[in-house]
Amino acid sequence: MPSPELVILRELLAHGTGFVSGEALASRLGVSRVSVWQHMEKLRAEGFAFEAVRARGYRLTRHPAALHQTLIEASLRGGAKDLPVTLLDEVDSTNDEAARQLAAGRAAPFVILARRQTHGRGRLGRVWHSEANGNLYASFAFRPHLPPGRMQTFTLWMGVSLCELIANFTHHAPALKWPNDLLFDGRKAGGMLTEARIDADEIRDLVFGLGLNVNSPAASWPGDLARRAVSLAERTAAPLDLNRFAAALIGRVLLAYGQFVRGEHTDAFADLWHRYDVLRGQPVALLQAGRRVAGIAVGVDDEGSLLIHPPGGRLQRFHAGDVTLEKHP
């Protein structure tokens, strides 16, 4: 059952700069106009502003800049319109929270967002810096019922889908560094962490985690991160509308997940990866289980494995590892 505030925001957003009469809102909610006004007061206290004009009604003139759960829900479109969104002020890790909720039996899909994580995690046990600084920490929970072998290209497909979204939204296209980094000019703008629980021969639970540097100012990074990290806002030289962006991102992830599960991604995948792949044609070194392989990266295969051509050797494929760009000889 949507809350009255969600119904009000959905109506106002649907009318853009147009007005919605108090009467229409009251009848939609099945409450009195006084009650509508009380719900709008609640929204005002949370940072919204409305223009009220006699005989015409209300329109939205300002919304909060910080993440706001009801505003994100009201901004969801298409297949994501009814996706449950939970926004937490603080959590250890949104991936862990999503996994806990899946284990407790919550119906999937759903998304967990947090303003801040106390134990944000990256790949290979790394820490994901997760201050409340205008960035996104999001985890999407699914129950795919797919054979585990099908998941190899999942994160890569999500990566290209996110690049498409970011390029459309900001007019700045990021690059992808296999298997899970989103970069601008070699600096990290985002990272993905996919975690699954597997039952017999089927994936039971899947959590797709995304940390995306959206609005953090350059000066907010501690120590070494100032050199290695970048936000979309730094790149576009203006802060993004975080709630609108979060809603667009949720819609895109849900769309990409559906395409993946139905196997509709296979035709587009190779071309899209090629478009965003920062490693292709570059000298790289890959570390895997204490072994180092250097060579020229030549893209990924259909299974999402990284292809490296060592000098004078045969093409090798890797489905895991930590890869770095090397200097040209």
Site residues for ligand BTN per CB under 6 A: 93-95, 117, 120-123, 126, 128, 137-139, 180-181, 191-193, 209-211
∠ CA 208-159-323, nearest 5°, is: 100
Contact partners, residue 51, CB within 8 Å, separation at least 6: 58, 59, 61
Nearer to ligand BTN, 22 or 209 (CB): 209
Closer Cβ to ligand BTN, 122 or 283, answer by number: 122
Which residue is nearest to ligand BTN, using beta carbons? 191
Cβ–Cβ contacts within 10 Å for residue 240, how many? 20
SS3 of 283-294: the string is EEEEEECCEEEE
Task: Quote the least distance from Cβ 87 to ligand BTN, whole Å.
Answer: 13
Alpha carbon distance 145, 260 (integer Å): 12
> Which residue, 36 or 189, is less far from ligand BTN as judged by CB?
189
- The minimum distance between CB 124 and ligand BTN, in angstroms, equals 7
Which residue's CB is nearer to ligand BTN, number 4 or number 159?
Answer: 159
Residue 70 or 117: which CB sits closer to ligand BTN?
Answer: 117
Dihedral angle computed from the Cα positions of residues 228, 141, 65 and 213, in that order, rounded to the nearest 10 degrees? 10
Task: List, as own/partner pairs, every contact residues 308-316 make where C-beta atoms lie below 8 angstroms and the sequence separation is at least 24, other chains included.
Answer: 308/284
CA 121 to chain centre: 15
CB of 5 to ligand BTN, least distance (A): 26
Q: How far is the CB of 40 from ligand BTN (least distance, A)?
A: 33
Q: How far is the CB of 188 from ligand BTN (least distance, A)?
A: 7
